[in-house]
Amino acid sequence: MSNSTQTTIEKVNATLERRYAKERRFRKMGIAAIAIGLLFVVLLFVSIISKGHSAFWQTHIKLDIEFSAELLDIGDRRDIETLSTANYAALTKASLKAIFPEVDQRKGRRMLYKMISIGAPYLLREMVINDPTLIGSHQTVWLPADDDIDMLVKEQTDRNLPESSRRLNDKVIGWVDQLMARGAVEKLFNTTFFTAGDSREPELAGIGGAITGSLYTLLVALLLAFPIGVATAIYLEEFAPTNRWTDMIEVNINNLAAVPSIVFGLLGLALFINLAGLPRSAPLVGGLVLTLMTLPTIIIASRAALKSVPPSIREAAMGIGASKMQTIFHHVLPLAMPGMLTGTIIGMAQALGETAPLLMIGMVAFVVDIPGGPLDPSTVLPVQIFLWADSPERAFLERTSAAIMVLLAFLIFMNLIAVLLRKRFEQQR
């Protein structure tokens, strides 16, 4: 061996340092990529949570309400009909007048009465209808404040601006300060936000209706998409002969998974509403459209799960005399189930965040009443976010972010279930 030729180990040693450096660079790039991804997630969460957290509390004002039959203008009648049409606004007005007796002009009084939410009389009505014996008694009641007051108390409007460019004038701010000094203003947990339907008054608006709508929609989608998707996957993977037809079906399923979701909305409009005559804005139709949308995802995931079951399982089952049906349902399917469930849950999570297809079938709508079934008009959570983001009232800004937080919580919860299910099935193996 001459000096000019190197041994193999020398060759390796010469390039070793360079190759190590390459690997180190690659690792650093990977860490940088993850760091950038994490940074954006953190930014998103910080921005949404910092904007939205305050919406979970709502400013309330303590009022001493006298449930006087005279003010309610009901005399001695206590039947439901009379009680539900009585003048409850008079009660809050009288109470405010008692706190600020110096306000006597009509304009000043109007400003004073506006400090309490428009919805307060309905709350009082509910109290009285639930317990008519309240009439004639004095009660201390915490009532929601108007959204402008709420924004002031939460310091989201700047009180130092010139009076003309503020929503509230000095007088009203003075009254709020007086009430605060007496301890009659407090931020209480905003249960309305979770129980109520939509409203144009931010302090009365909630996501209860939208969550119910989302649940019905997803229920319909799950009941249809899971069995159809799994059945299709099993047939295509285990029974179907390989020929031009099944190839074509396979290609088309893969294509459908990439079709923009609005197209499914148009299809739903033509098929379910115009042809089948189902009602607009109903979760049933929404669920059907989302079924169409999630089916390809579920089929593809389920087929991949079936494919990953080792052939030895099938052969062993066949070898001890199981029929094809028995092989699949007793041995292959249980092993493929975690993958199928994961695919389904991810498909459902995708469906939960979808608005575009629902636009076409009328689910982007103002719905106050909480839907009682899959045929009542309703919206879904992402649509509610979209509608609030477009509202002029300042207080909807924080409610939009709060609704996004709830939606994200649901998505994380669903993904968590997917992970847990997979873990459990894997342990059983």
Binding site for other proteins (CB under 8 A): 110, 118-119, 122, 157-158, 161, 164-167, 199-201, 223, 273, 277-282, 284, 362, 364-369, 373-375, 377, 387, 389-394, 397
Nearer to other proteins, 110 or 330 (CB): 110
CA angle 119, 125, 130 (to 5 degrees): 135
Nearer to other proteins, 253 or 400 (CB): 400
Give least dist CB 106 to other proteins, A. Answer: 10
CA distance 38 to 226: 33
Give least dist CB 46 to other proteins, A. Answer: 18
Nearer to other proteins, 108 or 415 (CB): 108
Nearer to other proteins, 157 or 302 (CB): 157
Give least dist CB 225 to other proteins, A. Answer: 13
Nearer to other proteins, 161 or 325 (CB): 161
Q: Among 195, 110, 207, 182, which Cα is nearest to 404's?
A: 207
Q: Which residues of 146-172 are buried (b: 16+ CB within 10 A; e: fewer)?
A: bbbbbbbbbeebeeeeeeeebebeeeb
DSSP 392-425: S-THHHHHHHHHHHHHHHHHHHHHHHHHHHHHHH
CA distance 39 to 407: 21
Nearer to other proteins, 114 or 422 (CB): 114
- To 10 degrees, what angle do helices 283-307 and 333-352 make? 140
Q: Is 260 helix (H, G, I), strand (E, B) or coil?
A: coil
Nearer to other proteins, 282 or 309 (CB): 282
Give least dist CB 100 to other proteins, A. Answer: 20
Give least dist CB 133 to other proteins, A. Answer: 24
**Residue at token pair 């400013």:** 59
Give least dist CB 308 to other proteins, A. Answer: 25
Nearer to other proteins, 20 or 366 (CB): 366
Give least dist CB 364 to other proteins, A. Answer: 6
Here the tokens at position 176 are: 């709020």
Give least dist CB 58 to other proteins, A. Answer: 18
CA distance 249 to 221: 22
Torsion of CA 299, 305, 307, 311, to 10 degrees: -140
Q: Which residues of 9-30 are buried (b: 16+ CB within 10 A; e: fewer)?
A: eeeeeeeeeeeeeeeeeeeeee
CA distance 228 to 302: 11
Give least dist CB 369 to other proteins, A. Answer: 5
Q: Among 218, 228, 208, which Cα is nearest to 346's?
A: 218
Give least dist CB 195 to other proteins, A. Answer: 15
CA distance 246 to 224: 22
Nearer to other proteins, 253 or 269 (CB): 269
Let me know if 175 is exposed, middle or buried by CB neighbors in 10 A (0-12, 13-18, 19+). Answer: buried
Nearer to other proteins, 30 or 227 (CB): 227
